[in-house]
Amino acid sequence: MVIPSIFRAYDIRGVYETEFDRQGVIDIAKAYGTILLEKAGKTELTICVGRDGRLHGQEVMNAFLEGIKSTGIQVVNIGLSTSPMLYFSTFYGKFDGGVIITASHNSKEYNGFKMLGAGGQALRGDEITAVYDKIESKSFIEASDPGGETAQSFWKEYQAKLLSFVQGEEFCAKIVIDAGNGVTGMFAPNLFRKMGLYPVELYCDVNGAFPNHLADPEDVSTLKDLQERVLSSGADFGIAFDGDGDRFGIVDHTGKIYGADYIFLILIKDIFERQSGINIVHNVSTSSLVSDEITAHGGKPVECRVGHSFIKDKMKEVDAMMGGEPSGHFFFAEDYYGFDDAFLAAIRVLSYLLRKDMTLEEVFKDLPEMYTSHELKIKVSDEKKQEVLKNVKAICEEKYKCSDIDGVKVFFGDGSWVICRVSNTNPEIKIRSEARSEAVMQERLDYIQEVLARFI
C-alpha cells in the first residue's frame, strides 16, 4: 500500500504503516530501480543505500533492499548515515544512484526516501511522480539474477574530506552539540573533537522516538535545552542539527539564537577570504542582508526560486561556489560536490569565528538592523492556490514594483518587501516579509494577508 500524496516535490515522505507499508516500500524500490535501469540503458548498476535512526528504519531498509535487488541492481549498504554522508558516498564511490531512508525533522511516525540518480542528481518533481506511475502500472523490471549486497562505510573518507577544509588551523573552544537524538549524534562529537574542539554532548544518543524534542533547528522552540546547556557549561557556542544532518542552527555563549540568514552571512565572509568575484545563489525569501554582503565583497548574488533543486540547478547554471536558503540548507561547490551539508557548514562557520577570535555579536555589530519575519503558512487547497496567487499578483502590481521569480515579491521602495508564494509540497501559500523596523515588517505582512483574504 502506498498513497499518492507521499510523493512530494523533492522526496517521498509519509506516515509509515498508515500512508505506506512494507509492500509499498518494496514497490517504491522496484520502481526506482526500474527507472535507473531504463535511463542507463544497461543492466549492471550499483547504488548506495543508507538510513537515519528512526524506529522502523531497519524494517524499511530491509524492504527497500528486497525491492531494489529484485531488479538486478547491486547495493552498497552504508548503514546508519546522514543524508550528506549518503550523498558524499554516492559521489565518492561513483555509484549509479543513491538512496537515504529518512524523514528528516518529521515526527517519529514518519519515514521516507531521498533519491539520487546518475551523476548524483536528486530526483525531484516529475521524476518522483514517475516513481508513483511505475507503481501504479506495476511495470517493474524483474531480474532473473537478483542483485547482491555488500556493507561498506565511507565515514573515514567523508570525515577526512571535511577536516581537509580546516587543515593546519588550530582551535580551542567548547561547543555544545545537540543532535536531538538524530543520527548526527553518532558522528558529530568525534568530528568536532578531531577538529580540536571540546564537544559537550546533548541528546547525541540515537533514539528514533525523539524523546526530548524534534531534531529541527528551524523551530526555535527546539533550541531551549541547547541554550540552557550552553549557559550552564560555559560553552563558547552551541550547535543543533536536524534529523538527517543537512541543516543546523547556532547559539552564542549567551544563548542567543542566530537564524539561517546570519549563518549565511558568515559563510559569505568566510568564502571571500579565499575567492573573489564569484557567484553565490540565494532564494527569493532570503534577507536582503545576504545579497548586500555578497555585493560588498565584490561577488554577484543570484536569486532563484525556493527549493533545493532550484538552488542546485541555478548553481550549476551560473557556476556558483555556494548557495543557501533561510531554511538552513547550505550548498557547497568549492572543492566539493554541490550538495547541502550541515557538518561542512558548521565547520566553516566555527572555523571563521575562531580564526577571527570573534563572538557572533561582534561579527554582526555593524550590521544594519533588519527585521525578517518567520515564514507564515496559510492553508489553500492545491486546486485553488495558483489562481489565488495570480489574483494577488495582479492587485500588487497595480501599486508596487514586483518580481515573479517565485510567486510575487512586492517591493515598497523603502527597503522593505513581502513575498507570497505557493508551497511546492503542501496545500499552502507562504508569506515572509522584511523591513528596517518590526512595525513596518508587520505592516507588510498585514497588507499581503488582506489581499490574500479577498481570494481565499
Q: Give catalytic residues, as residue numbers.
A: 104
Separation CA 264–CA 273 (nearest Å)? 15
Radius of gyration of the chain (CA): 22
Run of H or E including 192: helix 188-194
SS3 of the chain: helix, strand, coil, percent, to 5 = 40, 25, 40
Cα-Cα-Cα-Cα dihedral sign, residues 276, 277, 278, 279: positive
DSSP 41: T
Run of H or E including 45: none
- Answer for the pair 58, 51: CB distance below 8 angstroms, yes or no: yes
State the pairing for strand pair 428-435/376-379: antiparallel
For residue 227, what is its C-alpha cell? Answer: 541554550
For residue 212, what is its C-alpha cell? Answer: 526530548
Question: Measuring CA to CA, how many Å separate 302 from each of 282, 318, 367, 432?
Answer: 6, 8, 21, 19
- Tell which residue, 221, 15, 217, has the closest CA to residue 105: 217
Separation CA 434–CA 374 (nearest Å)? 10
State the pairing for strand pair 408-411/401-403: antiparallel
